[in-house]
Structure 1
Amino acid sequence: MEDIQNKLMPYICDANSAVQFKLVKSKEDLETDDGFFFPDMSHQIFGEKEQIFGFTDLKLRIYYTASSLQIHTKLLYGRKINPEQFDGVKADDIMKSVREVLPANVIENVDDFSKKLDGEPNFKPFGEIIYNYTRQQKGKSTKRNFEIYKADMTNPNFKEYHQRIESFILWFIDAACFIDSDDDKWDFYVVFEKCTEGGITSHLFVGYSTCYRFYAYPDKIRPRISQVLVLPPYQRQGHCTELITAIYQQYVPKAAVLDITAEDPSENFQRVRDFIDSKNCLKLPEFQDSKLGQKFSKEMRKAAQEKYKINRRQARRVYEILRLRITPENDDVAFTKYRLAVKSRLNEPIYAHVVFLTKINESLRKKSHLLPASLVPPKEERLLMLQREFETCLHEYKKVITRLDISA
């Protein structure tokens, strides 16, 4: 058995290394081995272990035209396992798994895909431009230009384009799911790099976000930022910050908007959101240094909501970040007050859970002559959990503060 397992090992590969993406701008890009980027995850396609079985030296290359996102796939490998030599064991059907997450109109023939590149300069972004910004070109004096467009499903052909965008999300967003694009409450924000070369202007896909306009009683809406994606070639360049800023500019001025929320934010997204909200709140009288040394107040919550549509929970988080910013850690008295204030907030859900478990314990005791084991974690365990949560907050808050200081 061990001998067979050893022989099978070369046919097991890491899916996150085998799958490769490329944004194709020219026909020459199809011939080169540079410019590829890899998925952050693949468990939503290939299972929890993120492995593909049955091939050696496997490469699954997924090409996208850089503007219109037309798709072509190419499978490369050294050897494929022979079932006759391994008791009928077959290779994974890779393409079947991948087809389930790609749109139906994938271009199988490379020549047909190559012809699509001829029409790329004719691609025009869907919707209306709402925001633009620049980034310094690395190693050059020139700047790169970016535009953000707002679109919805009333834009002709945008539904098909969105399906091609969505084909990225399972590889880069954990617990991602495809949305019901027929629901007219969805807003779409798409980022493009605007390039002009030889008198021809192109718009290259950078990333996007979806927002859902929830109803808020009695006569308001509560936009929820759902999915945010910036492709790896454009990451760590501030594009997510610009995208969220553009979204805020769409919703904040509207009287009908109660506040803006986010759906299961990742650590990276939460950090961007914290930075933007903290930077905005620094402009408010209620968040000046003289007020931050005091408790989180109704005035702070109200000002954050009315001026920047920041919900109560996020406003409290911003308060904690800005208070930490003015609290010296070597000032034992000030830092102890800060630590207790944050832990008091963190302890609220823990305490509520303890009360809930205590009630269950009491109910079990009444129904059984046997004494059940306590469901409530020991106090020492709860205190340790609370300390860990506080240290996690501190770690994340400091990252935001560093960025605030740099941008000041």
Structure 2
Amino acid sequence: MSLWDGSMHDSSTSSGMGLSRNELESFVCRANDVIDIKLVRQESDLENNKTTFRPELTHQVFGETENIFGYKDLVVKLYYTAGRLTTYLNMSYSQKVDPVRHEGMQADEVLKNIAEKIPPGFCTNIDDFSMYIPKEATFQPYGTLLHSYKRETEGGDRQFEIYKADMSIPGFREFHERLQMFVLWFIDAGSFIDVDDEKWNYYLIFEKYACDGNHRYATVGYLTAYSYYAYPDKLRPRISQVLVLPPFQRLGHGVELLQTAYRDMRENNDVLDITVEDPSEEFLRLRDFVDCMNCKVLPAFSPQLLQDGFTADMAQQAQEKLKINKKQARRVYEILRLEQTDISNAAAFREFRLDVKRRLNAPFRKESSYIEKLRKVLKPEELVVAMEDFSVENRQAKLEEMFQDNLTHYKRVLDRLAVA
């Protein structure tokens, strides 16, 4: 950590030595902009800028500001062999802050900060790393093959495979240690999991590609799910982490991965339903999209029944056939009902809006008992202040805001359903 915290807001000098704010700022860079990540398939990838991608998040390594202090023209190289994820870490720069010339300022320990997060045994010499690239020819995916599919791209058809693995497979623990580093770069508030807990399930995507007349595999992404206990004798898997690496995004891999994990979990008769842990907005759209696609084929969700409101049959069929819990089934119903609603018809759209708001209003109804408790313990003048947050106007404004947020999200899901 540097001694400078970036808190100066003018061009004044520091310690009377004439060190200006501008000079200090010339040694500051955004970590997101200087970390080059590669998934290396062949040696030519090392010098190919098209194979480079960068992290979306760096605060778990470099702090909330996501800044690095102490270098000019900094480039951090974090390279992985495409399949096995053998790792290379190094950095270069044109100038480093000098404590003697720059009033004791210390540069951030960039490599140390990253090295503390990645497993030991990584390469720091590019020649040593290059020696591992040909060894990718012997790499095979871990686990049991569950699903394979193709994607048509400008470069031709590409083949992908999804596997289910566990920590009993030789080499998988070490592979997962390298793989989970991507969580810190691409999942907000992401954290490493306890791999010694046998209740974790791992689903992995690999691309199967041709190289030198043979097939090799590249790591694409993965999903983890934890099997919680559900009373009295069932399991409730909770999806925790879902990540498709940037070079493979926008090709529908998230859908394939989630559907494959769903199918595998549903085959277990002990599974009651499948939940999700703190989903991001992006994953929420993915989940809603997949669940809507799956529910569309259920009789209870047929278009002619959607206008009659959410029913017990919908909840039951979603749970029994797809392991979708009642809360999520209601959400799917609202999206599919919107699809069947003519929003240009004021009366029809009003019915839809009121139906959604009845659900959104449920938490507010619980406030009535809370308000009665306040009346008993607060003085009249204190009660007036406290009641401002519970006014009819505030409640209506919050309900409308929540409805509009849901409507925007639902429309995005329906746009994707229309394309599908």
Partner of 2:198: 184
**Alpha-carbon offset, residue 370 of structure 1:** 6.5
Would you say the 8 A contact 2:374–2:383 is kept in 1? no
Structure 2 residue identity aligned to 1:193: E
Question: Is the counterpart of residue 78 in structure 1 residue 90 in structure 2?
Answer: no
Structure 1 residue identity aligned to 2:162: I
- Equivalent in 365, 386, 390 of residue 403 of structure 2: 390
Partner of 2:386: 374
- Equivalent in 2, 12, 15 of residue 2 of structure 1: 12
C-alpha separation in 1, matches of 2:317 and 2:48? 54
C-alpha separation in 2, matches of 1:380 and 1:50? 40
Distance 1:334 1:369, change over 3 A: closer
C-alpha separation in 1, matches of 2:108 and 2:311? 58
Bigger mean CA offset, 272-281 vs 368-377:
368-377
Partner of 2:65: 49
RMSD: 1.8
Q: How does 1:278-297 map to 2 (within 5 A)?
A: 278-297=292-311
C-alpha separation in 1, matches of 2:361 and 2:388? 15
Structure 2 residue identity aligned to 1:49: T
Partner of 1:198: 212
C-alpha separation in 1, matches of 2:187 and 2:405? 22
SS in 2 for 1:245: helix
**Alpha-carbon offset, residue 360 of structure 1:** 5.9
Would you say the 8 A contact 1:192–1:203 is kept in 2? yes
- Equivalent in 158, 162, 165 of residue 151 of structure 1: 165
Distance 1:370 1:126, change over 3 A: closer
Q: Deviations over 1:47-95 (max 9, x none)?
A: 1111111111111110000000011012121211112222211111111
Would you say the 8 A contact 2:307–2:337 is kept in 1? yes
Question: Is the counterpart of residue 163 in structure 1 residue 177 in structure 2?
Answer: yes
SS in 2 for 1:394: helix
C-alpha separation in 2, matches of 1:371 and 1:218? 44
SS in 1 for 2:218: strand
C-alpha separation in 2, matches of 1:100 and 1:55? 20
Partner of 1:19: 35
Question: Is the counterpart of residue 400 in structure 1 residue 410 in structure 2?
Answer: no
C-alpha separation in 2, matches of 1:183 and 1:359? 46
Q: Deviations over 1:268-317 (max 9, x none)?
A: 11111111111111111111112100121111100100011111111000
Would you say the 8 A contact 2:375–2:383 is kept in 1? no
Percent sequence identity is: 44
Structure 1: which 5+ runs fail to align? none
Q: Deviations over 1:80-130 (max 9, x none)?
A: 111222221111111121112111221122222111112101001111100
C-alpha separation in 1, matches of 2:178 and 2:212? 28
Structure 2 residue identity aligned to 1:335: F
Distance 1:203 1:376, change over 3 A: farther
TM-score for the superposition, normalised by structure 1: 0.95
Partner of 1:90: 106
**Alpha-carbon offset, residue 363 of structure 1:** 5.3
Distance 1:55 1:379, change over 3 A: farther
Structure 2 residue identity aligned to 1:398: K
Structure 2: which 5+ runs fail to align? 1-10, 14-19
TM-score for the superposition, normalised by structure 2: 0.92
C-alpha separation in 1, matches of 2:139 and 2:338? 48
Bigger mean CA offset, 376-385 vs 87-96:
376-385
Structure 2 residue identity aligned to 1:165: L
Bigger mean CA offset, 105-114 vs 270-279:
105-114
Give the number of aligned pairs.
403
